[in-house]
Chains A and B, each alone.
Chain A
Amino acid sequence: MERRKYPIYFSFPALSVFLLFFIAPTLIGVYYSFTDWNVNADSIRFIGLDNYKALFGEPRLGKALSNTLIFAAAVTLLQNAVGLGLALLMNEAIRMRNLYRTVFFMPYVIAPIVIGYVFRAIYHPEHGIVNEALGWIGLGSLGQDWLNDPKWALFSIIVTDIWRVAGFAMVVYLAGLQFIPKDLTESASIDGAGYWRRFRHIVFPLLAASFTVNVLLSVIGSMKVFEMVMVLTDGGPGYTTEVFYTYIRSTFSLGQMGYSTAINLVLFVLVTVVGVPVLMALKKREVEM
């Protein structure tokens, strides 16, 4: 059957919506990032690189950049560590495994903004569960004002997000573990391979697909973090937890549209620079498999 006979116009609804509402704003954005577009001004003037010059002169961009990268790296690392750990534990023929799976995955279906509000209560310096629980086990002195202390704020946001997404990684790993034949690990065990060696040489290589998916989704998703940070700290105290989207939001609220578009474009470049190589690695492995 001739391939060319398949009607090309079947792709037009999807392509036109995508081009108009995703690609077009991105391209328009490139133009506006070179303008002084501001809601308080009547006209929009082309100002060349002025937005970018101002932007890169501000330490705030550096904070947003480093926080976004730290957040993405920490969430990716910890989500996978916790998720994989839980999956391995659950794989040990634990009773009520399905119930646990349901529980651990639960936060993932709740709106992040709601989770943010709940954790504002949990991190409350006087009455929050975290400090209360530390008090119960005699470690009350470790209590902190988690969200208002510049030393702890970003860490607390990261922990909140791990709470939300660890179950997702766990389910993906658990699914991957089901495909590993039991006799493979058993025979290795009989041959005298310890748990760590079996994990390194048999289990983990067979989990590679799950691993790549989790990492890719974590990296890309966490760089776009917004409402969690907005609700927990709104980028504060000072700019200590500023990420790209809170920065964009605050310049947007001031009506500095051209400027916030420039920030958005820097994020675009960052996500592309980090995300595309990760995606390529995934594609490459798919070919090899």
Chain B
Amino acid sequence: MEQPGKKTLASVVVFLGALVILVPFYMILVNSFKGIRESALFGMGLPSEWNFDNYKEVFDKGNILRGFKNSFLISGLVVVCVTLFASMAAFVIQRRDDRFMRTAYLTFIMGLIVPVSIVPTIRLMGDLHIRGTYFSLVMYYTAVLLPFAVFLLVGFMKQIPRELDEAALLEGCGYFRLYWRIVLPLLVTVLVTVTIVVMVSVWNDFFGPFYLMTDSTKWTIVLQIFNFVSLYNTNWGIVFAFMVIVIAPILLVYLLLQRYIIDGLTAGSVKG
């Protein structure tokens, strides 16, 4: 593509594409400062009168902080469980490579594809007397996300030479120390990828808490939005203000760490 004309055309198309992505974000932002009537017109112009009451209303009624705290707590705990359990499993699955481990591995792979059976999951949580607890949601997400993490980590375990294990074991190092002090540090880059994928998946998920969390004080921010919109769907200004508050921190983190986040989310899939 040496001709400058084609290059310009490419630039124009890409620019228009970027506008298609950005305009909805702009629409949310500008309309979040408008009153009930003006915001319902979804206009692109600046507000005729800047209205900050929408934000005040959301902070007063939306239980924003509680939602953020729950999302953070749950996704953080899932990150710990998934990275720890998956790396331990991947370590022995790849190193032993016997019939039991292959079966375990295949079972995890199936979990990559098939959908969860949600109604029986609710029942199981009830039978275990953990229904509606943070613990139940953390275990649900851990189970759902383990297959991907195991798959990814087993792939990377292959790149860690066995000679390293042999040298360490000859020195009298135990298997736990081998895992904790030698293998785990070598998996750090992959674990960052796993962490990013887990954080983004859990933070944005609606399905899990919608079915499993009955107690509104334990709702994540995504469920909080759902509930809020059901109550305020006649006032778009307030709904948009809520969206800005929910989206802004995510976009901030995304823009700061975009390199890692984009690479993590896509590498997670390319290798997985």
Q: Residues of A at under 8 Å CB distance from B?
A: 1, 3-8, 10-11, 13-15, 17-26, 28-29, 32, 86, 89-90, 92-95, 100-114, 117-119, 121-122, 124, 127-129, 163, 167-168, 171-172, 175, 195, 209-210, 213, 217, 220, 223-224, 226-227, 245, 248, 252, 257, 260-261, 264-265, 267-268, 271-272, 275-276, 279
A22-B144 contact in complex given A3-B95, A175-B270, C-beta closer than 8 Å = yes
Q: Which residues of A contact B33 (CB under 8 A)?
A: none
A102 touches B255 (CB 8 A): yes
Contact pick for A111, options B85, B139, B146, B206, CB 8 Å: B206
Bound complex: CA A168 to CA B265 (Å): 9
Of A17, A28, A163, most buried by chain B (CB within 10 Å of CB) is A17
The answer for the CA separation of A93 and B6 in the assembled complex, in Å, is 11
Rounded to whole angstroms, the CA-CA distance of A275 and B81 in the bound complex is 27
Cβ of B231 under 8 Å from chain A: no
C-beta contact mask, B207-221 vs A, less than 8 Å → 1, else 0? 100110000000000
Query: In the complex, are the beta carbons of B85 and A105 less than 8 A apart?
Result: no
A221 to B132, CA, bound (A): 26
- Nearest to A104 among chain B residues (CB) is B21
A22 touches B89 (CB 8 A): no
Interface centre among A107, A117, A167, A279 (most CB of B within 10 A): A117
Q: Which of A92, A110, A117 contacts B6 (CB 8 A)?
A: A92
User: What are 27 A-to-B residue pairs whose CB atoms are below 8 Å?
Assistant: A1-B162, A3-B95, A10-B88, A11-B93, A13-B89, A14-B89, A15-B89, A19-B107, A20-B139, A26-B120, A28-B117, A92-B1, A92-B10, A102-B258, A102-B262, A103-B22, A105-B258, A109-B200, A109-B251, A113-B226, A114-B247, A175-B266, A195-B1, A261-B117, A264-B115, A272-B113, A279-B112
What residues on B are CB-neighbors of A29 within 8 Å? 117, 119-120
Where the two chains meet, the residues of B that have a C-beta atom closer than 8 Å to any C-beta of A are 1, 6-7, 10-11, 13-14, 17-18, 20-25, 27-28, 31, 40-44, 81, 84-86, 88-89, 91-93, 95-98, 100-101, 104, 107-109, 111-121, 123-124, 139-140, 142-144, 146-147, 150, 162, 165-166, 169, 175-176, 179, 200, 203-207, 210-211, 222, 225-226, 229, 236, 239, 243, 246-247, 250-251, 254-255, 258, 261-262, 265-266, 269-270
In the complex, which of the residues B14, B22, B139 has the most CB atoms of chain A within 10 Å of its own CB atom? Answer: B14
B114 is contacted by which of A19, A28, A175, A275 (Cβ under 8 Å)? A275
Chain A residues near B111 (CB-CB < 8 A) = 18, 22-23
| A17 close to B203 (CB less than 8 A) | no
Number of CB contacts from chain A to chain B under 8 A: 251
Pairwise interchain contact B143-A18, C-beta atoms closer than 8 A: yes
Q: Which residues of A contact B23 (CB under 8 A)?
A: 129
Residues of B within 8 A of A94 (CB): 7, 10-11, 14
Contact of B113 among A1, A18, A220 (CB under 8 A): A220
> What chain A residues lie within 8 Å of B44 (beta carbons)?
129
Q: A101-B262, A121-B42, A264-B119 are in contact. Are A3 and B98 (CB under 8 A)?
A: yes
Check A1–B165 contact: CB distance below 8 A: yes
* In the complex, chain B residues whose CB is within 8 Å of the CB of A25: 116-118, 120-121, 123-124
CA distance A128 to B236 in the complex (A): 12
Question: When the two chains form their complex, are residues B247 and A268 in contact, meaning their CB atoms are under 8 A apart?
Answer: no
Contact B14 A86 (CB under 8 A): yes
From B140, B146, B226, A14 is in contact (CB under 8 Å) with B146
Q: Are B169 and A104 in contact (CB under 8 A)?
A: no
- B22–A171 touching, CB < 8 Å: no
Name, among A5, A20, A21, A110, the residue most crowded by chain B CB atoms within 10 Å (CB to CB). A21
Q: How far is the CB of B78 from chain A (nearest CB, A)?
A: 11
User: With contacts A8-B92, A268-B117 known, is A17 near B124, CB below 8 A?
Assistant: no
Q: How far is the CA of A275 from the CA of B147 in the complex (A)?
A: 15
Q: How far is the CA of A166 from the CA of B91 in the complex (A)?
A: 35
A252 to B239, CA, bound (A): 27
- Chain B residue contacts of A252, Cβ below 8 A: 118-119, 211
**10 pairs of A and B residues whose beta carbons are closest in the complex:** A21-B143, A29-B117, A14-B89, A111-B204, A14-B85, A29-B120, A275-B113, A25-B120, A22-B143, A25-B121
Given contacts A89-B14, A265-B117, contact A21 B169 (CB under 8 A): no
Instruction: Flag if A3 contacts B239 (CB, 8 Å).
Output: no
A206 to chain B, nearest CB (A): 14
Minimum Cβ distance to chain B for residue A80 (Å) = 13
Minimum Cβ distance to chain B for residue A109 (Å):
5
B272 shortest CB reach to chain A, Å: 8
Determine whether the beta carbon of A261 is less than 8 Å from that of B269: no
- How many angstroms from the CA of A121 to the CA of B44 in the assembled complex? 12
Q: Assess A21 versus B142: contact at CB under 8 Å? Given A6-B175, A106-B21.
A: yes
What is the bound-complex CA distance between A100 and B84, given in angstroms?
Answer: 35
